[in-house]
């Protein structure tokens, strides 16, 4: 199976989406009040993720604009969030035991996101 974005129903008549491969969620969003907003966020990811910088906050790096942030959790693991130019988090990953796994998630979205199909399950 290929990489894809999935829009699904969320609580309170809202919508959410994820970026997955073989039914495994790699990144997922917060809830959106309107499906059109979720679609717009996906379009933004497809457009902006490939050229986005990677900022390792666990190494005190900083950045602005569209960016991937590698964040250390309290237990020494890492997760990734993709941040829009306005500073809002668009999607995040699970927490990974290794930073290399977090970087693999970034590489997957950068490489496969632009051509990923959209499955509207809502």
DSSP string computed for 53-111: EEEEGGGT----SSEEEEEE-TTS-EEEEEE-TTS-EEEE---BSSHHHHHHHHHHHHH
Span 78-102, mean pLDDT?
95
List the CATH code of the domain at 3-113: 2.30.29.80
Arithmetic mean of pLDDT, 6-21: 96
Residue 18 · residue 122 · CB < 8 Å: no
Cross-strand bridge partners of residue 106: none
Q: What is the pLDDT of residue 74?
A: 87
Q: What is the pLDDT of residues 46-82, one digit of tens each?
A: 999 999 999 999 999 999 999 999 999 889 899 999 9
Rounded to the nearest integer, the mean pLDDT of the chain is 95
**Amino acid 16: pLDDT:** 97
Confidence of residue 1 (pLDDT cuts 50, 70, 90): low
Residues 6+ apart with CB under 8 A from 36: none
């Amino acid at each position: 199976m290929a990489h894809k974005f999935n829009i699904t129903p969320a609580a309170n008549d809202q919508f959410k989406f994820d970026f997955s491969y073989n039914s495994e969620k790699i990144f997922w969003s917060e809830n959106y009040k309107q499906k059109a907003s979720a679609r717009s966020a996906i379009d933004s990811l497809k457009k902006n993720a490939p050229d986005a910088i990677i900022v390792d906050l666990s190494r005190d790096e900083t950045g602005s604009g569209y960016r991937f942030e590698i964040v250390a959790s309290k237990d020494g693991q890492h997760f990734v969030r993709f941040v829009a130019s306005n500073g809002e988090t668009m999607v995040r990953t699970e927490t990974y035991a290794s930073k290399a796994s977090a970087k693999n998630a970034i590489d997957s979205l950068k490489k496969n996101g632009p051509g990923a199909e959209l499955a509207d399950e809502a």
